[in-house]
Structure 1
Amino acid sequence: MFEELGERLVSKPEIALAELIKNAYDADSPDCQITLDDTQIVVADHGHGLTESEFLNNWMVVSSPAKGKQRYSRRFGRSMAGSKGVGRFSARYLGRMVELTTVADVPGGRIGARTKLTATFDWTKIAQVQKIGQVTIDYRVRLAKPGEATGTTLRITQLRDEAEAISVAKVKTDILRLTDPAAGLERPAFAFSHKDTGPKNDRDPGFTVSFTNAASTPELVPPSVASEILKAFVGRVRIQVTESGRLSYKVFWDRSEKVLDEGWFPLADVARDYSANALKLKPGQDADERGLPLELEDVSHLPMSLQLHSPVFIDIRFFPRRAGTFSNLPVNGKIAQRWLSEAASLAIVDNGFAMPAYSDRGSDWLGVDASKARNERAWQSVFTPVYYPMKPGAREDPRLNPMLALPRGTQLVGRIHITTQKRPADSLISDDWLQPNMDRESLRSNGAFRLLWHVARFAVELLAHHDRAQRLKLEEKKVRDAQKQARTSLSAAIEEIKSSPNIDPAYRRRVVEQLTQAQDQFAEATAYSDDAKRSLEVMSMMGVMAGLLTHEFEKSLATLTLAAELLDKLPRPSAEVTAALIQLRAYEAELGHFRDYMRLIVDKARELKPQTFKARAQVNFTAKTLGHLADRYGIAVVVDIDGKLPGPAVPVAAYSGIVMNLMTNAMKALIPKVPGEPRRIRLYATNEGTHHTLVCADNGIGIPVYVRTRIWDPLFTTTASTDEDNPLGSGLGLGLSVVKQVVQGLGGRIELLDEAPPGFATAFKVTLPLEAKES
């Protein structure tokens, strides 16, 4: 039984050593000295040692009640690193013979009075005992010699195969990784919030781990230089989560201490939608393999709890492999890169000690390398799309998609600090507690851990968001610098030609005129590009207003309906009131249909997956929405689509938006026609092979040949109107540009036909897939 229990509690030599080091830390020792050679392992500390009573009632008892209740060390008030009482099993894992020597002050005795306890554990004999109650351990207690220091020493001999086969250098590296996990990174404030249990003059001297008689391993860089490397980050994210669940974050960039971006939010604002209660299946609802609603099958690590019962502190540094990342450092860039490959990890640090499952090199517990391998294009943390949604079209554009800028694990050095606590004995079992597994190597996979995963993943995705944004800014700066250089060179050329005496005056005048004209056109194009960019940025922000406007529009319409009802109840309305009432009822009907259309778009826009629908029904619905405008301007709209024709495999809102933009563009081209001439729009659709084809044709004023290539440019329009009574005259020139982005994002194509159908001047053809595109 002891063999089986020991194997479950300890599985690796470095973890066994780490558990013994934690005992030294909990004993208020300032240090822990480890001796490793071929015959023995010695772990010694200068802590408060063990009295006979503590040896019998604490050290000899697995997960004793005292360890659960004592959450702070007795002298320095350290948050206890060990709580399972597995120290003796760690020693058993390493060797068959264990000699314990411990010196402690006599409780209540005179100053300087100490006892020295020695005990021997022969694990070969202990393993042969059938019942735990029959195990006896020989130990001896005597008074310590005057001046003998307190502390505990474990001498482990008859080393097991696992311990003999280990690389001393590897163990040393792994132990330092576990016991000094945040070297050079910012440490959390709660790591120093020790409970005030001892005298006022007992200040914690800190804790160090040292190795003696061990093969030395030359460090790539000394600790001071490692700290300088960490300061040379390209990106850094710092996150704090309070026990109440308030997350605050700051982003720093390019070695600067100036905050680039910051914010805060309550975790429960987002986690509530993904909690176990909120994700209960409704009758008849399809489920994924986890038993969660099918629409969440692409969202990992669900359900989550709403709290962690632990503060969290995250410090993550980003070091991409780019020119200049390690410039101006007190160490060669290649050495710094090799150090980074050794130090890279995103370890979870519990009460000051890293958990092996998350600190091992190559551990991808956050799935960042897996995301890179799968070429994922959507945010994985549930927090990122809420607070940093991708701009329209960015997901499908490799240049703009920030997820494609996600760092690799080898480019990140970071720590996620937590302080797990033992739950009160009378508390109910809950998913809301971060709790270590029995082996202390990892956390239990519960709702609290899944919530922590999304918080930590949010930190990494913040780096991706800002890295993409910063690199796009750099690209734009390069373009502006090139444009400025081109303008300067062009101006210099003009001046040189003007002043040249060797050029025929007439020829010189023509060349200067042409170059000047080119210079003006270049300046105009640059100004247009800048204005378009700024306008697009403003317009992209208006998307968030859609839901709000729909809600407010519904309230306004309700008031309008009430006013019409009140007017209708007047006993003897005048002719003017009657006329106004008729007009009011007409507006009410028109606005009601607008409301229904807006509600459809807002509701369906939340459903990003393709839905099944009939093409004619959706086109008719959009045509009806614009029907009053068609009637006002005498526009005949013909929908020539089979009522049973299935629509393409795209979201309903996207298809409806495409139809709406094509129809309004057609109407804009029809309104300027000479009054009395027929105005017609024809929409027809077919399914051929694997594609759905939709054509919108009109007999409007047409599109001149010389601007046909510019109609896809943002903010370019040929149908702007100054007629205040024309509701379509306020266009921004975004319609066709946005439609093209949407269509391409859905795996389709849009084109302006070279030849419109007979009787029509302009026709746009949209081709969309009939089967869902794989993401």
Structure 2
Amino acid sequence: MSERPLHFTVDAQLLQELGERLVGRPYIALAELIKNAYDADATRVEISASHDCIVVSDNGHGMSEREFTNTWMRVGSTHKARQRHSRSFKREMTGSKGVGRLAVQLLARDTTIVTAGGDGNSGQRLEARVNWDDATREGDLTSVTVPVTTGSAGNPEFAGGSTNGTRVELRRLSQVWTARDFRHLAQEIWALQPPHDVDPDSPERFQIVFDSDLQDAYDAFSAQMRAILDIWSAQLTAKLVDVTEFQGTVVGDLPMRLSDTDDDLPDLETSDEGPTGVRVREGLDDRVLEVKVRLRDQEPVTVGFLVRGCQIHRMRCDIRVFTLQQRQAGNVKVSQARQYLERFGGIGVSDGAFRLPYYGPDQDWIDLEGSHSARRSTSKLLPAELNVQRGLLNLPTNRRVYGRVVINTAEEQRWFRRREQLRAGSDTVMEPPLSIQITRDRLVPNDAYERMRVMVRAVMDVYAMEETKRRLEATRDKRRDNPSSPTDALADVSTAVEEVAAHLPERTVREITAKVDAASRSVRALQESTREHAALLGALATAGISAMAYSHELSRQRIGLDDVVERLRSLLDDLPTERHDDARVVVDDLDAWLRRAAGLRKLLQPVLDEETRKDEKSRGAFNVLRGVRDNVTPVARGITIDLSAVPRGLMLPAASAAAWWAVFQNLFINSFNALFNAHQPAIAVDGGSGDDGREWVRVQDNGVGVGSDLTEANRFFEPFRRKLNLPPESAALGLGGTGLGLTIVRMITEEVGARAEFTIPTDDFSTAVTISWEP
């Protein structure tokens, strides 16, 4: 018996399997190559596409032969997992599984990789060619060979004419690429590219250039790459113009400074005297700031602000506001768009073509974040006619905007020197122009800069007011079509109180809040009651329809049975004498049953009779109770109802006969059910006028009772609450048992201004329900 080691082998077909499973779609595979360029600290990547070839070239640090062998030639390399940031720019790596290189196998049958640079910038050029058909035929993956040639680098053969970088040439493409595929490619990589030009040495710089003789592919890719800038909810523009050039209406003057907190900068005063320790403003011309605000799907609004003694020669800005919720156009993912604006958002400042690095999402240079966190509701920059109540609350944060302010400090300096020459020899103290600091990352905080801050912030305040008006109009339209609930209205009141709490006495805020909370509780209780009544009315509507059908069918059947009874009576004399008496008993029982059925139909009569349903007036309590008592006799099982204690002059509140019959029928039937097993059942009704001036009617019985806890007992007036389990006899007759009887009583009595409740019964009785009302 011998022992020897064996080694795992890997089938070369695994390359194709991995490419299809781990990368998936061709456009994702091509995106992996662009992401590789990003990880290689490239600032420019060029994609060239034709019918039979795709070339991706970058100006990154490239690969040495050692790096090519250890990373690109090794499937599943974990170097990106170990090295989470790029070599030079310290970018966060976009990949970590080491399978991106399998993308090229998925894309084409022939691949050429040319790279120069690498670790230590060795100056070596490497070129490798892979025929994937030959590679997969090798059988064993470790037997696959890739021919590599090396030489000296130095030729500008990479993106942007760079002498270092990587170029991947894909030939014999595995599929026909369409405009849709290139649009999907752009969806995968657009977030890598900043929306603006950045400094060539900035880690953010990553320019993607697409070139193709396929026009539809070029158009689709280009449109998708800029889709983020097309999903704005508002577009704001502004520029400085001469007073005579502005065609609209000037709505007001803009102040010198953004806020009252900027008192560390001295005011400039106009004086005919020379410098006396107080700065004298030179006689600068007035200008107009022309502001245009366009909300999505609305006509633009244009306003003008007078800028007196303007220290800035030229300025313009273009700002876009984003509402990143729900599905966005262009298949832009909301989460990806939010991350993008966190990196590149905010309002930047460009000095000519140079973007000043200081101004971005983390610098609140026009106090957007400060106003938002302080929940300021009114703009101090805008005149009263432009301010909308709580309008400034719709001011966006830096991470919801992208824009830039364009100035040119060189031009501002030339303008300053021209003014200075005109005032040569005078005592005028010149206004310093916009100037860039020695750090080259921001502007000098002088008066011209303060004026620029005011103008840019005024643009944002105008947007906030227009957005507020849009929302108010939308809310009014919505309420017109779908009125808001009282709960929503009170929630709006609570929000309004919170927003102005800082401006009100603490005691006032507490009192208002307490009253709003109390009103909210009452409204919620009312809404709950309304929902219960809606459910009740639904059940009653069903019951009413069933009752009408039942009454109609009962009447029809009774006519037929009456005829049967008469025919049976006529046949009695033909029966043998010994059976004559038995037959007569059967016929008499059947006749009695028909009379009881007729009595049952009378229970439904008030519902079926239109006059009794609609004729609302005050009625004598005794007459109503007597009529109801007579009608419920068929279901009383011999139980009598004593009405002797009901005052003859007692008048019930105005209501229809059907309403009062429904009230007392339900009370009497409840009593019948409670008395089902009583030895000496008794029901009594009395009434009168109490010491508090309220009149009342009380129904009492000596049945099972509801207990001594009247609070708990009164909960039986709520829908579908029951205590009794009805015997089969009552259930078969349909007498109660739904849990709606007492609810109907309370609903009807409340409607007429009366109150129905369980009260303490008198001696000899166990249950009392009292209905009371103001006469």
TM-score normalized by structure 1? 0.34
**Considering only CA atoms, is the larger Rg found in Structure 1 or Structure 2?**
2
